[in-house]
Amino acid sequence: MNYKDEQNVDEMIENYIKEFLADIHPEIDSYEAAVHALQTLLPQLIDESEHAQRVQILQSSFGQLLDKFSSYLTPAQKVHVELWLGHQLEQLGAWDNALQVFMSVVKECEADESLSHQKAEALRWIGHIQVMKNNWDEASTYYQNSLSCSLEHSDLEGEAHARNALGYYFFEKGKFADASLEWHHALELAEKLKITKLMASFYTNLGTLAIVQGEWEKALAYYGESIPRFEQVGQQRSLAETYHNMAMTYADVERWSEAGNYYEKSYELAKQIGDIRLQAMVKLNRVRLYLAINDLVYAKAFCQQALRVFQKLEDHLGEADTYKYFGIIDTLKENWAAAEKYFDKSIELNEKYQHPLGKAESHVELGLMYKTKNDLQRARDQFQIALSIYHELELENEVEKVKQLLEDSN
């Protein structure tokens, strides 16, 4: 698309929104109907624009709509729209923009006790974004603040959400026992409240934990509980994430056909809802399918596409995982120096951003590279580092696998 085309598209979108807003009359139209209409219109317009324009369109159009309704909205209604905007910006990967919106919501809710649930939600989403930005201490603080807010106001649903978020934090930090405790507690609350979408989310998380612990049948059983619930409540993003998790589970046991089907389902949904990070994750993990059939051209192409997105989002752990796959590809090509460099970059990023599981996986792959080129001492050194990490994480399944690799490298 050249500059003139971009200018024409921008003018067209601007005119559509102006015409839309001109037809909205706050004195007779409900804000709910106006917001719903704009939510319906925006995806059609956003599809015509580049990523940077999408963020601008979202913020500008909703800002104008809020201004138009400002004197007609209750504080709760205004916060509801702002939370929706924050979620959409986060989904587009505009994390700093989303943070500003959620921070603003927290400030607005401070003086109004009746908005404690919305405040807890905003705090939780600030924590989520800090996790994606690899700011672990900040994420933990916001999750704890969200939990405290919910406990203080006896908000059981908010408590369930906050415990789920803390479970995710512990999971990413490799504290799997703590993650399991929080997720089971959250699931009990969701079952008590009979909130279907929460139960589905917590089943998915427990499935993810089961994968890491090497219990793939248990993982699939948890996903089997979550998928129909997500379908029932129309949670498209969560459904896409669960499809992705199922694909990875099938890939772990080399059931490539099922893995491919679920990767495709996940990618299509992620594309529909505009979740660019999830699209990149699906592309990266599909690399395993191409490695299984030794199609290194497609494997490398998917790695390159994923890396561009992760770098744009400053998702450093996504970068680390991508470098690991580049290393595997170069190992298969016997490009030893390039492979070693990629594995070292992956290990460095996982170390820097405190992701022990990813670090251990990269040490294993570097060890396998040395083993393939018959440099057995260096292979054993890498396996030993991975073994120590897996011991600390209490991942007995992985411990046994690495012990076997050490034995085979003697």
Residue 5 reports pLDDT greater than 60: no
pLDDT score at 172 = 87
- Would you say 289 and 263 are in contact if contact means Cβ atoms under 8 Å apart? yes
Residue 299 reports pLDDT greater than 90: yes
Confidence of residue 1 (pLDDT cuts 50, 70, 90): very low
Q: For residue 310, which phi and psi values (nearest 5 degrees)?
A: -60, -40
Q: pTM value?
A: 0.76
Give the C-alpha distances (Å, rounded to integers) separating 39 from 1, 46, 144: 26, 11, 32
pLDDT score at 47 = 54
Question: Per the structure block, which two tokens stand in for 396?
Answer: 């007995």
- Would you say 55 and 11 are in contact if contact means Cβ atoms under 8 Å apart? no
- The helix (run of H) or strand (run of E) holding residue 49 is none
CA distance 107 to 174: 33
CA distance 42 to 220: 36
- Would you say 130 and 139 are in contact if contact means Cβ atoms under 8 Å apart? yes
pLDDT score at 78 = 81
Give the C-alpha distances (Å, rounded to integers) separating 285 from 29, 244, 307, 324, 394: 47, 9, 12, 11, 25
Confidence of residue 91 (pLDDT cuts 50, 70, 90): confident
In the DSSP assignment, the letter for residue 29 is: S
CA distance 86 to 125: 9
Q: At residue 315, what is the residue type? A: D
- Would you say 315 and 344 are in contact if contact means Cβ atoms under 8 Å apart? no
Strand intervals (E) in 19-152: none
Residue 52 reports pLDDT greater than 80: no
Lowest mean pLDDT: which of 17-21, 46-50, 138-142, 214-218? 46-50
Greater pLDDT, 52 or 328: 328
Vertex 338: Cα angle to 335 and 344 (nearest 5) = 135
Interval 263-271 mean pLDDT? 95
Domains of the chain: 196-295 (1.25.40.10), 315-410 (1.25.40.10)
CA 11, 14, 17, 23 torsion-angle sign: negative
- Would you say 57 and 43 are in contact if contact means Cβ atoms under 8 Å apart? no
Q: What residue has token string 């219990």?
A: 215
- Would you say 197 and 238 are in contact if contact means Cβ atoms under 8 Å apart? yes
CA distance 295 to 300: 9
How does DSSP assign 106-124, residue by residue?
HHHHHT-GGGHHHHHHHHH
In the DSSP assignment, the letter for residue 114 is: G
Question: Shortest CA distance to 233 belongs to which of 269, 199, 273, 281?
Answer: 199
Q: Is 223 exposed, middle or buried (0-12, 13-18, 19+ CB in 10 A)?
A: buried
- Would you say 245 and 229 are in contact if contact means Cβ atoms under 8 Å apart? no
How does DSSP assign 324-356, residue by residue?
HHHHHHHHHTT-HHHHHHHHHHHHHHHHHTT-H
Confidence of residue 18 (pLDDT cuts 50, 70, 90): low
CA distance 302 to 8: 32
- Would you say 326 and 306 are in contact if contact means Cβ atoms under 8 Å apart? no
